[in-house]
Amino acid sequence: MPDRSLPLLPTTVVGSSALPSWLWLARDAAASGRLGEAEVREVIEDATRLAISDQVDAGVDILSTGEMPRLRFIVGFYDHLTGIRRLEAPRKVGVPHYDSYPVLEAVDRIAAPHGLGIVEEWKLARRLTDRPLKATCPGPYTLLIPLRPGGPYRDRDALLADLTAVVNRELRALVEAGADFIQIDEPNFVILPKEAKRLVEIFNATVEGVRAKIALHVCFGNLHGRPFATTRSYHDLFPELLDARCQQFVFEYANREMAELSLFKEYPPNREVGVGVIDVKAYQIESPEEVARRIRSALQWLTPDRLWINPDCGFWEAPRHVALGKLRAMVAGTRKVREELGGS
């Protein structure tokens, strides 16, 4: 059932906010030892406050933490894991891409004795705003991608089982901290669409016992503004994906000219669907009317009470001024369609 406290066509973000330029400089300073622990905490708090302010100023209905402490989506999470070692990046010269980051190898049983840092990130954001707020967490399959078996692990399935347990503990801790809306990010589901049933089983184990509203975000990757897979289609994940124990799906559409919305005629989702109407990989800022057209196309296949509005993915790869313009356009376009529907 829709949340009656929210407006028709609620607007939200996928997770990361665009980083202010000074945060890049602060990260370099921290990496070279020129910032102490107190300065790092201050930097992260200031950046989180700014990320929240940007969303509020744009008029977004459900905010995210902004993910300001994170590094390159998932790279920073491995600093929280024990039982792994970093290997050399496969490629170090030229244009950065998916093969420009270190590979990780298990050398002992993987654990996160102090969590993944997401609970602390959420607590900080919750202290800084009383607006509706969702937490975001990468799923275990996405965390598995750069990991190689080793030590006690003979295969990646064994690795995946322990990563699933790590993420499940983080999600439960988020709920204990007060989070009631959590999004799980699994962009890499599209790499193995023929294994959709198994991927859904992994997801369901990940959210087992997590007493919160759950969203599942599946996109096509956004490292350096580039997708990972050559085939960008959700088709082969259906109908198995509908067995995922979540209350909301969050999908990428704007970057694909709103393709595959017709899947919802063949497979009615019987839950909320967050439709990406902002192309985060494009530099140009959409107009409110362009956003409204994309929303209207989604309404051909989804009823207004099930439709949520969001960008395709996070903004961590976008310049801040571009991200701000896109958020404002998303909200303005949504308000235009709300008026057409007679919603408040």
Give the Cβ contact number of residue 264 at 10 Å: 19
Structural domains in the chain (count): 1
Q: Is 37 exposed, middle or buried (0-12, 13-18, 19+ CB in 10 A)?
A: exposed
Distance CA 241, CA 250 (A): 12
Distance CA 83, CA 252 (A): 34
DSSP string, 30-53: HHTT-S-HHHHHHHHHHHHHHHHH
Residue 9 lies in a domain: no
Q: Which domain holds residue 98?
A: 21-341
How would you classify the pairing of strands 248-251 and 272-278?
A: parallel
Residue 198 one-letter amino acid = R
Name the strand (E) or helix (H) holding 311.
strand 307-311
Residue 298 lies in a domain: yes
Whether 296 and 241 have beta carbons less than 8 Å apart is answered as no
Whether 4 and 305 have beta carbons less than 8 Å apart is answered as no
> Which residues neighbour 330 within 8 Å (Cβ) at sequence distance 6 or greater?
11, 58, 60, 277, 278, 286, 291, 309, 310, 311
Give long-range contacts, CB 8 A cutoff, 24+ apart: 120-124: 120/69, 121/48, 121/65, 121/67, 121/68, 121/69, 121/70, 122/65, 122/174, 122/177, 122/178, 122/179, 123/177, 123/178, 124/44, 124/45, 124/48, 124/65
Q: What is the pTM of this model?
A: 0.94
Residue 167 lies in a domain: yes
Residue 110 one-letter amino acid = I
Residue 187 lies in a domain: yes
Q: Looking at residue 85, which CATH number applies to its domain?
A: 3.20.20.210
Q: In tens digits, what is the pLDDT along the chain, a chain of 344 residues?
A: 456 689 999 999 999 999 999 999 999 999 899 999 999 999 999 999 999 999 999 999 999 999 999 987 888 899 999 999 998 888 888 877 777 777 899 999 999 999 999 999 999 999 999 999 999 999 999 999 899 999 999 999 999 999 999 999 999 999 999 999 999 999 888 887 788 999 999 999 999 999 999 999 999 888 777 777 777 899 999 999 999 999 999 999 999 999 999 999 999 988 999 999 999 999 999 999 999 999 999 999 999 999 999 999 999 999 999 999 999 999 999 999 999 998 55
- Torsion on CA atoms 332, 333, 339, 340, rounded to nearest 10: 170
For tokens 């901290």, the residue is 177
Give the Cβ contact number of residue 57 at 10 Å: 12
CA dihedral for 116, 120, 126, 129, sign (positive or negative): negative
Residue 118 lies in a domain: yes
Residue 12 lies in a domain: no
Residue 218 one-letter amino acid = V
In sequence order, which ranges of the chain are alpha helices (DSSP H)? Answer: 21-31, 37-58, 118-128, 140-144, 156-176, 196-206, 263-266, 288-299, 320-341
Q: Which two tokens stand for residue 165?
A: 């347990």
Residue 16 lies in a domain: no
CA dihedral for 132, 173, 212, 15, sign (positive or negative): positive
The pLDDT score that the predictor gives to residue 98 is 77
Q: Which two tokens stand for residue 344?
A: 């408040």
Residue 50 lies in a domain: yes
Whether 218 and 237 have beta carbons less than 8 Å apart is answered as yes
